[in-house]
Structure 1
């Protein structure tokens, strides 16, 4: 069923991606990097929803980002023919719910469907993604808030989960409940049950439906974001929300502010080769590897080496007789750690900041 109006992609690009240090940094976060393909993750996200395929039609995207990255974002989108209809530059980060509110207001606050996507996720099967969007559109047109649940293939403890409830239409279900990142035993039980999916942080709803949900469940957030957009400065497609008004908004995720509280929330389970590329281990898991299980990019020489992820950005890296390592060189920094420990990069960043 086609949408009544083109789907407006909303690309959230405010993250700093510090878990992929040293390549990802505040001035060059992971969505601006070509980690999985020749294109950057931002470019891949824009291309995923940049033209009409089958029953779907897409408008130019609205991008919500850090002002520090404005020139880079515009250049990268221009390079793949996906110029934004609006580039909203947040004066400060207030999490996803206010960011999406800015986009909904910029879209006109009407019945336009908004497809909200993080800028730094991988979706290998775009056709499956588009089919899931098409299944959701009839409910979206009727005012439902829809999230896309990733069919799990492991008992991951780093993701939130969604319990899939009663069927509303073919391939679309009511959300029974959202589940916080679980302990190992709980994750294994949810995987075995077959009625839980990962919360991938991708959403589809009408702009007016989202703003109405904010009015009910987070009115202070709606007031602040509306005031920030009413007083925004606009120039050549860039939008600067008014700083003081936006800073007054509560900082909250869309899950906490809206999705866990609203009544008409649906989930579309989908297997589409999704990854949030949240660590170097996650990147290794989705990378093409040589016969020894090594995923290497850049000037790398590896002899008698197995199951390593190696990234060389401007430096040569040579490895002999090692296995299960992550080695990343970028600028003046070199990261070396065992595979399976890449979540500890966060601890490294905290230690260096101290």
Structure 2
């Protein structure tokens, strides 16, 4: 007999600690990409929260972020206030961040862990994948969602899928590091690999048990930091010294690659991590010349460009395949296909101590 699907409410856990430097000059430390409206009139955070507004299935969210963004997150989520906004004293990667939420939640709570800055176009497919995972979650499995690859992508980690253990659910054989182009092509051709999108579903107690098995010192540090936390309404400020004693580690390395009961639900849901300006060009609606434009832009004899202005008029003539982004205090121009090179710009600005990395545009 198949186990019944849990009828308890799922707690969304929204991870919002990233700085989003790959989308400079829009994304900055004081207002990173998850707090910006990049693909619609809603911010990435608001779109993430909106995937879980069905009160018959989802409870209030727990947001894990840093103190810089507390007020902005509270304002952006005012229509659906989170149960808690946990303010990390400093970033320690995803495993300690998720541990904060798991300890704060009820032991038997089912946690849906999501980055705050991803796009999912087919929310219905996402919800179906969640329901497919629930019988295994009820049995203590840790579940991840594998994104069906549509091309050999070298920028993502992969999940090698194994035997089917429930309808629509397979055991994870291995988590695979970001491959080179040849291996990425081989993974896609093999047909049993998914992209690792960093979205998870599990019971809080199952995750904490696994973390205690493999990272007991981390769990102890996080528990101590929450026990001594300052609390003001929904805001929770873990005690800094205890939290900073935790090792910095991702959930993949800390738990998912080691635990015996790890499953994957492969899903096609129009997912993107919006990790670059090239990704935004792909996600945008292009004109008949292949240009994706936003703001005050005049494009003449221009094709296949992403041109975005947050203030000044931007004009182009006789160019193609460029990314052009202008704010009130910065302009960036680079060839399409080279948007990962933004990190070199950011490094150069850091070396200069330039305030455009921090001050919102």
Question: How high is the TM-score relative to the length of structure 1?
Answer: 0.97
SS at match of 1:74: helix
Alignment of structure 1 residues 105-124 onto 2, 5 Å: 105-108=103-106, 110-124=107-121
Alignment of 1:40-51 (within 5 A): 40-51=43-54
* Paired position in structure 2 for 1:298: 295
Counterpart Cα distance in 1 of 2:259 and 2:298: 54
Partner of 2:75: 75
Deviation at 1:337, TM superposition (A): 0.2
Counterpart for residue 181 of structure 2: 184
- Asked if 1:36 is matched to 2:39, the reply is yes
| Alignment of structure 1 residues 129-278 onto 2, 5 Å | 129-278=126-275
CA distance, structure 1, for counterparts of residue 126 and residue 41 of structure 2:
21
Match in the other structure for 2:304: 307
Give 3-state SS (helix, strand or coil) of 1:163's partner: strand
Deviation of the 1:312 alpha carbon:
0.3
8 Å Cα contact 2:297-2:313 kept in structure 1? yes
Supply the distance in 2 between the matched residues of 1:353 and 1:215 (Cα, whole angstroms).
38
Q: Which residue of 1 aligns with 2:20?
A: 17
1: distance between equivalents of 2:297 and 2:161? 45
Q: What is the distance in 2 between the residues matched to 1:2 and 1:37?
A: 34
1:238-278 CA distance string (max 9 Å, x none): 00000000000010000000000000000000000000000
Quote the Cα distance in structure 1 between the aligned partners of 2:27 and 2:327.
9
**Conserved in 1, the CA contact under 8 Å of 2:5 and 2:138?**
no
SS at match of 2:77: helix
The equivalent of 2:86 in structure 1 is 88
Secondary structure of 1:140's aligned partner: helix
3-state DSSP of counterpart to 1:255? helix
Q: Is the 8 A contact 2:161 2:170 kept in 1?
A: yes
- For structure 1, the 5+ residue unaligned runs are none
TM superposition shift of 1:203: 0.2
User: Offset of 1:3 from its aligned partner?
Assistant: 2.3
Q: Cα RMSD between the aligned structures?
A: 0.8
Query: Do the aligned partners of 1:4 and 1:141 also contact (CA within 8 Å) in 2?
Result: no
2:25 and 2:325 in contact (8 A); partners too = yes
